Amino acid sequence: MINQSKRIEAAKAKRTSKMRTFRSNRSQQQRDAAREKDRIRKAEIRKAKGAEETSRDKNRIRQAEYRKAKGTQEVTREKDRIRKAESRKSKGTREAQKEISENCEQTKEDELLSDETVAKAKAEALKYLHRTQVGDTNRHQAHVCVVCDCYIIGTETVKRLNQKQLKVHEERLGVEKYKKFYNLRDVPDDLRNYYKLKGFPSMLLSPRSNKTNKGFSCCTTCHEGMRASNKDKKPPKLSIANGFVIGEFPRLTYTDDEGMEHEFDVESDLTDVMRALLAPTRTHGYVMAFTGGKHKSIMGHYQFFEMDQTKL
pLDDT tens for 31-54 read 777 778 878 888 888 888 878 888
- Min mean pLDDT across 10-19, 69-78, 81-90, 164-173 is at 10-19
What is the rounded CA–CA span in Å between residue 76 and residue 82? Answer: 10
Are 186 and 248 in contact by the 8 Å Cβ rule? The answer is no
pLDDT at 27 over 70: no
112: pLDDT strictly greater than 70: no
Regarding predicted confidence, which is higher, 69 or 6? Answer: 69
pLDDT in tens, 225-249: 999 898 888 999 889 998 888 888 7
pLDDT beyond 90 at 301: no
Please answer whether residues 154 and 218 qualify as being in contact, where contact means their C-beta atoms are separated by less than 8 angstroms: no
Task: State how far the Cα of 201 lies from the Cα of 144, in Å rounded to an integer.
Answer: 19
Our CA dihedral for 174, 180, 181, 182, rounded to 10 degrees, sits at 110
Residues 6+ apart with CB under 8 A from 253: 261, 262, 263, 264
Q: pLDDT tens digits, residue range 155-192?
A: 888 999 999 999 999 999 999 999 998 888 888 888 88
**Per-residue model confidence as pLDDT tens digits over 122-149:** 888 778 777 787 777 888 888 899 999 9
pLDDT-based confidence at 22, cuts 50/70/90? low
Mean pLDDT of the chain: 81
DSSP assignment, residue 215? E
The predicted structure's pLDDT at residue 207: 92
Report yes or no on whether pTM surpasses 0.75.
Answer: no
Q: Average pLDDT for residues 80-108, to the nearest whole number?
A: 79
Measured CA to CA in angstroms, residue 12 lies from 5, 22, 148 at distances of: 11, 15, 155
pLDDT recorded at residue 270: 80
- Residue 293: predicted pLDDT: 78
- In tens, the pLDDT along 257-287 reads 888 888 877 777 788 777 777 777 666 777 8
DSSP 107-168: HHHHHHTSHHHHHHHHHHHHHHHSTTB-TTSS-B---B-TTT--B--TT---EEE-HHHHHT
Return the number of other C-beta atoms located less than 10 Å from residue 224's C-beta.
12
- Predicted confidence band at 21 (pLDDT cuts at 50, 70, 90)? confident
Question: Does pLDDT of 250 surpass 70?
Answer: yes
CA atoms within 13 A on the CB side of 81: 6
The residue length of the chain stands at: 312
Give the integer Cα–Cα distance in Å for 132 and 214: 15
More confident residue, 28 or 278: 278
